[in-house]
Amino acid sequence: MSHAESAAAYAEARQQVEQRWRTAFESSAIGIAMADFAGRFFAANSVFRNMLGYTESELYQLTYLDVTYEEDRNTNQELVGELVEGKRQHFEIEKRYCCKDGTLVWVRNNVSCVPGMGGVAPFWFAVVEDITQRKKDESARRYAEEKYRLVVETASDAVISLDETSTILLANPGTTRIFGYDQAELIGKPLTILMPEFLRKMHEVGFKRYLATGQRHINWQGTELVGLRKNGQEFPVEISFGELTNDEHRVFTGFIRDISERKQAQRAIQNAQAELARVSRLTTMGELAASIAHEVNQPLTAVNNNSNACLRLLANQNLQPDVLRRALEEIVADGTRASAIITRIRGFIKKAPAEKNRLDVNQVIGEVLVMMGHGFEENRILLQSELAQALPPVLGDRVQLQQVLLNLIMNGIEAMTAVTNRPRALSVQSRIDESGDVLIAVRDSGTGLGSESDSVFTPFFTTKTNGMGMGLPISRSLIEGHGGRLWSSPNSPHGAIFSFTLPAAAGSPP
């Protein structure tokens, strides 16, 4: 091949390479621009030109600073300066361009310095990506996040996020206000720091069980528990928790509300009601006593008067037999009358006949739990109720059944007062048993009955220092009066179960 031939071939090859580069440059999906060291553009592809809305000739009149948004110029200039000083080979910048029509475009530029060679002066080479849409999305997301953050920050409730180990990831200012810990004191700590001792073990066990089985040990919405402030004070809280799974991680976020005031108000109402009930009972008893006194005093007065009159006449030796007979007849009549009054009153007190109505057992249980009110909290009892739905109604006396339930629950609570090394759990359960009767069970985690399990139903037997020993015998006779049974059995691993059955009311579906 001749020199001329090879030169021509070389020139052709060169042209081909250049053409390929130019085409690549021009048809690139990403913007590319070049500027001399004075910053003036001398080449830009169509993506870049279209992005800014300038023609080639217009663009080559401008420097990169001319089209850079005012606020971004300084940063851009500094980075370029570092390139000039050789501190870096290239830089990346997110900035805004001012388009020809005045609109702004967010871009991410990758700028490098192309060293001069073969008579070509060095120049800036920028790869420009339009990130306007991404910026918009980001800003929208940031706005949404800000909105939620604001809600969380200003919430009066404590908002706490936990990871899978129940470690606190986040706590809002409400948490500080309620619990007294700074955010920094809480982050990275276990949630149990905010619970009294008696709830900690239960939380740990329950949380692990939930992670393993998905089975919740408490209701996650509006459950009332006890919180512990930094100063050691315990107070009632209402909690609601939600779960979020993110990149295989599970995050739990909870709202904890301080309900001390609400509880206090409830307590005041309950106290007032209890006081009212007590006063009205006393009044009734007082009235009863007064009316007994009046009723009995009448014949007693007559007996005394008649007898005294006879004695006086006798003393004067002036008592005629027929007068005496009439007086004695009246005395006997009045004595009989007095004893009839007493018999009537005794019957009135004793009989108070049971009023049997169709009752929803779950409703009766609910009423009793309301009556117990803060008895559970005060004794640090964790109450669980497992009430079967769609129970058949029973025929019963509401007040008597309430008395039985109250008695069993109070016994359960008292049996747990000495328990300090495990949760004090009391559960009230209702269900249908094998024979179709309604079964109610009260379980405690107390000291249990041991060898005394048979004696507890014996009248005047008691394990309590100030007990009468009549609660269970009376309860049993009340339940038997309803055609049911009441018995005890040991609870596992601790405590006792008292169960009673009530026959389903006739005519209810099996």
Partner 1 sequence: MTQAPVVFVVDDDPSVRSSLKFLMSSVGLQVESFDSADGLLKRKLPDAPSCLVLDVRLRGLSGLDFQRELAARNCHMPIIFITGHGDIPMSVRAMKAGAVEFLTKPFRDQDLLDAVRIALEKDGERREREKEVSGLKERYDSLTPREQEVISMVVSGMLNKQIADQLGTAENTVKVHRSRAMEKMHAKSVADLVKMVEKLKSSVEP
Which member of 31, 299, 392, 412 binds partner 1 (CB under 8 A)? 299
Encoded amino acid at 198, one letter: F
| Burial per residue of 131-163, b for 16 or more beta-carbon CB atoms within 10 angstroms, e otherwise | beeebeeeeeeeeeeeeeeeebeebebbbbbbe
C-alpha to C-alpha distance for 428 and 407, rounded to whole angstroms:
13
Q: Is 298 in the site for partner 1 (CB under 8 A)?
A: yes
CB nearer to partner 1: pick between 244 and 314: 314
x/- letters, 241..280, toward partner 1 (CB under 8 A): ----------------------------------------
Contact letters (x/-) for partner 1, 410-439, by CB under 8 A? ------------------------------
Contact status: 354 vs partner 1 (CB under 8 A): no
Q: Which stretch binds partner 1 (CB under 8 A): 148-156, 305-313, 468-476, 498-506?
A: 305-313
Nearest CB to partner 1, comparing residues 323 and 352: 323
Judged by phi (left if over 0) then psi (alpha if -120 to 50, else beta), residue 251 lies in beta
Q: Which of 16, 63, 301, 343 binds partner 1 (CB under 8 A)?
A: 301
The yes or no reply on residue 293 touching partner 1 (CB under 8 A) is: yes
Identify any residues that bridge with 295 across adjacent strands, giving them in sequence order: none
Question: Which range touches partner 1 (CB under 8 A), out of 178-186, 288-296, 374-382, 431-439?
Answer: 288-296
User: Do 491 and 443 form a contact (C-beta atoms < 8 A)?
Assistant: yes
Closest listed residue to residue 266, CA positions, set 376, 370, 366: 370
- Of the ranges 75-83, 118-126, 332-340, 475-483, which one interacts with partner 1 (CB under 8 A)? 332-340
DSSP E strand boundaries for 172-261: 223-228, 234-246, 249-258
Q: Work out whether 226 is an interface residue with partner 1 (CB under 8 A).
A: no
Listed in sequence order, the residues at least 6 apart from 355 whose beta carbon sits closer than 8 Å to its beta carbon are 397, 398, 399
Spatial distance between the Cα atoms of 364 and 469, rounded to a whole number of angstroms: 25
Residue 345 interacts with partner 1 (CB under 8 A)? no
Beta strand pairing call for 425-432 and 438-444: antiparallel
* Type of residue at 220: W
Q: How far apart are CA 362 and CA 387, in angstroms?
A: 7
| Residue 369 within binding range of partner 1, rule CB under 8 A | no
3-state secondary structure of 125: strand
Distance of closest approach, residue 272 Cβ to partner 1, in angstroms:
28
Q: Is 325 in the site for partner 1 (CB under 8 A)?
A: no
Q: Does 337 bind partner 1 (CB under 8 A)?
A: yes
Q: Quick check: 294 binds partner 1 (CB under 8 A)? A: yes
Q: Which is nearer to partner 1, 99 or 300 (CB)?
A: 300
From 226, 313, 371, 387, residue interacting with partner 1 (rule: CB under 8 A):
313
Binding piece for partner 1, criterion CB under 8 A, among 249-257, 263-271, 327-335, 399-407 = 327-335
Q: Which residues contact 92 (CB under 8 A, 6 or more apart)?
A: 108, 109, 110, 111
8-14 long-range Cβ contacts below 8 angstroms, 24+ apart: none
In sequence order, the β-bridge partners of residue 491 are: none
309 lines the binding site for partner 1 (CB under 8 A):
yes
What's the closest the beta carbon of residue 294 comes to partner 1, in angstroms? 4
Classify residue 189 by its DSSP letter: S
Q: Checking DSSP bridges between strand 357-359 and strand 31-35, what pairing results, if any?
A: unpaired
Least CB distance to partner 1 at residue 292 (A): 10
**Nearest distance from C-beta of residue 289 to partner 1, angstroms:** 10
Exactly one of 310, 341, 383, 410 binds partner 1 (CB under 8 A); which one? 310
Residues engaged in binding partner 1 (CB under 8 A): 290, 293-295, 297-306, 308-310, 312-313, 327, 330, 333-334, 337
